[in-house]
Amino acid sequence: MPHSKRPAASSQRDAASDAAESAAASRIACDIFCAVIDNFGDIGVCWRLARQLAHEHGWEVRIFVDDPHAFQKLCPALDPGRATQTIEDVVIEHWHEPDHAGETLQIADVVIEAFACELPGVYVAAMAQRERTPVWLNLEYLSAEDWVADFHLRPSPHPRYPLLKHFFFPGLGPGTGGVLKERSLDEARAAFERSAEARAAWWQNATGGPPPDPQATVISLFAYENPAVDALLEQWCDSPTPIVLLVPQGRISGAIARFFSVASFDAHAHAERGPLRAHGLAFTEQRGYDALLWASDVNFVRGEDSFVRAQWAARPFVWQIYPQGDDAHLPKLDAALEHYARTLAEAPRNALARFWHAWNGNDAHAADAPNRTPGTVDAPPQIPPPVPDWRDFAQYLPEFKARSQAWASELAQAGDLGGNLAEFAKTQLK
């Protein structure tokens, strides 16, 4: 059965209440299971998807999350001490342990196993006993690689139960699941861009002051720890034009504080050196992050969720991909560049690739480093970490801006992930 519905209080019901109850009973129930591995990307994606399925598709959605404290950073209304609560029409349950399946075992019509987190065994067994077999989806991480289209929606039979799981792959091109995008997002961005009052209010709230002068380049910096940050900050200090740096509170904050020789660089912090003026911003809930992207000329983003939002913001951006062992993340970085930079001329395309790779700790010219003297057993030379060349990158900002706007339109052609997922699930429900 789907999630339980509240029974009618009286047998005396009019046609309107009958219709309302019928509509509620026909709603698709969806459970999303999310294990927070690191940072906020996993729960960030699940929270966006849950709200979109509830608000745009009328689904009855429940999230199981094992780290409510991390979730609270993105959703301040969440009480991490409560086992069950409802926020924005989404039921949220604390997933206490791998075998826990909620305070009351209820099996949904659509079950989403986010990022291979593994469903509780008792839940899977109950899925197999359900009269109407649930649609079981394994929501994978985003990748721009070509193989994604081949594996998207590929079925995988369960080894013991009569259940079929489908792999649902987000992607940047046709034949994939697309990426998350709310129906109202483009209009919200356009309204922000049209309204000087909205932008002024945002700057006052975020930094305590007015918007910067038009000749300043505004840069948002949302990043993991990065040994290249000091060199980049030094370049911004030598910029011929003003640079305003916006740093959301997070893992890069300590490095910014050390650079400016201050105790911390959290919310409301300010520092200046030469033409560089930096502001520390409070960690924002999800909707607030979009406005930060729209207020900036260039956005440094990390992981998956902010990477997707930067693309919809239609601004030049620099992606710090989540690092993996044996540099397994670098082919994914190149695959994204292949899509995003496809129509750029050779010079800006190469500058973009050089900067992205340097920011991700990969020196494209490492192969040109001097070799050891033949016949010796000396240790290989210590190659310093690559330094992103801001001047090389910034000279092409007009081209990157035009490309980012065109790319947002191209990306939309793959459809949004929430809509694609809802459509596929409906075809599978019997």
Its domain, for residue 305, covers: 185-363+374-412
Per-residue confidence (pLDDT) for residue 26, from 0 to 100: 75
Give me the active site residues, please.
Answer: 42, 304
Tell me the C-alpha distance between 203 and 199, whole Å: 6
User: What is the CB-side half-sphere exposure of residue 7 using CA atoms within 13 A?
Assistant: 3
Residue among 191, 240, 195, 242 at smallest CA distance from 217 = 242
Residue 160, judged by CB atoms within 10 A of its CB (0-12, 13-18, 19+), counts as exposed
Q: Are residues 161 and 272 in the same domain?
A: no
In a domain, 20, yes or no: no
Q: Are residues 204 and 161 in the same domain?
A: no
- Say what percent of the chain tops pLDDT 90: 78
Which tens digit of pLDDT belongs to each residue from 90-146? 999 999 887 777 777 899 999 999 998 999 999 999 999 999 999 999 999 999 999
Beta bridge partners of 32: 63, 112
Cβ atoms within 10 Å, residue 231: 17
As separate numbers, helices (DSSP H) first and strands (DSSP E) second, the chain gives 16, 14
Side chain identity at 41, as an amino acid letter?
A: G
Q: pTM, whole model, 2 decimals?
A: 0.88
Q: Are residues 137 and 275 in the same domain?
A: no
Q: What is the pLDDT along the chain (430 residues), one digit of tens a residue?
A: 445 433 333 334 454 444 444 444 578 999 999 998 766 778 999 999 999 999 999 999 999 999 999 899 889 999 999 999 999 999 999 998 877 777 778 999 999 999 989 999 999 999 999 999 999 999 999 999 999 999 999 999 999 999 999 999 999 999 999 999 999 999 999 999 999 999 999 999 999 999 999 999 999 999 999 999 999 999 999 999 999 999 999 999 999 999 999 999 999 999 999 999 999 999 888 889 999 999 999 999 999 999 999 999 999 999 999 888 777 889 999 999 999 999 999 999 999 999 999 999 987 643 333 333 334 444 445 567 789 999 999 999 999 999 999 999 999 999 999 999 999 999 999 7
Q: Are residues 152 and 191 in the same domain?
A: no
In a domain, 4, yes or no: no
φ and ψ at residue 40, rounded to 5 degrees: -125, 5
CA dihedral over 244, 249, 254, 260, signed as positive or negative: positive
User: What is the CB-side half-sphere exposure of residue 240 using CA atoms within 13 A?
Assistant: 3
In a domain, 1, yes or no: no
List of E strands, 83-144? 84-87, 90-94, 110-114, 135-139
Q: Are residues 112 and 249 in the same domain?
A: no
Q: Are residues 147 and 211 in the same domain?
A: no
CA dihedral over 206, 313, 88, 84, signed as positive or negative: negative
In a domain, 329, yes or no: yes
Residue 199, judged by CB atoms within 10 A of its CB (0-12, 13-18, 19+), counts as middle
Q: Are residues 422 and 405 in the same domain?
A: no
Angle of CA points 369, 224, 207, to nearest 5°: 125
Cβ atoms within 10 Å, residue 359: 23
Per-residue confidence (pLDDT) for residue 390, from 0 to 100: 98
Q: What does the block give as tokens for 171?
A: 């992607």
Residue pair 347/331 in contact (Cβ under 8 Å)? The answer is no
**Pairing between strand 110-114 and 29-34?**
parallel
User: What is the CB-side half-sphere exposure of residue 108 using CA atoms within 13 A?
Assistant: 25
Which tens digit of pLDDT belongs to each residue from 365-405? 433 333 333 344 444 455 677 899 999 999 999 999 999 99
Q: Are residues 200 and 289 in the same domain?
A: yes
Beta bridge partners of 91: 62, 86
In order of 220, 238, 259, 281, the CA distances from 245 in angstroms are 6, 14, 13, 10
Residue among 62, 140, 67, 74 at smallest CA distance from 97 = 67
- 3-state SS string for 233-265: HHHHHCCCCCEEEEEECCCCHHHHHHHHCCCCC
CATH number, domain with residue 147:
3.40.50
In order of 42, 161, 274, the CA distances from 123 in angstroms are 21, 12, 59
Site of tokens 């956005």: 299
Residue pair 396/351 in contact (Cβ under 8 Å)? The answer is yes
Q: Are residues 121 and 206 in the same domain?
A: no
In a domain, 3, yes or no: no
Per-residue confidence (pLDDT) for residue 324, from 0 to 100: 80
Give the DSSP letter of residue 323. P
Q: Are residues 137 and 270 in the same domain?
A: no
Tell me the C-alpha distance between 379 and 308, whole Å: 42
CATH number, domain with residue 321:
3.40.50.2000
Counted domains in the chain = 2
Q: Are residues 127 and 212 in the same domain?
A: no
Tell me the C-alpha distance between 135 and 138, whole Å: 10
Residue 45, judged by CB atoms within 10 A of its CB (0-12, 13-18, 19+), counts as buried
Per-residue confidence (pLDDT) for residue 409, from 0 to 100: 96
Residue among 244, 307, 301 at smallest CA distance from 277 = 244
Per-residue confidence (pLDDT) for residue 383, from 0 to 100: 66
Q: Are residues 356 and 391 in the same domain?
A: yes
Per-residue confidence (pLDDT) for residue 411, from 0 to 100: 96
Site of tokens 């035009």: 402
Residue among 114, 67, 60 at smallest CA distance from 89 = 60
Site of tokens 């969806």: 30
What three-state secondary structure class fits 374? coil
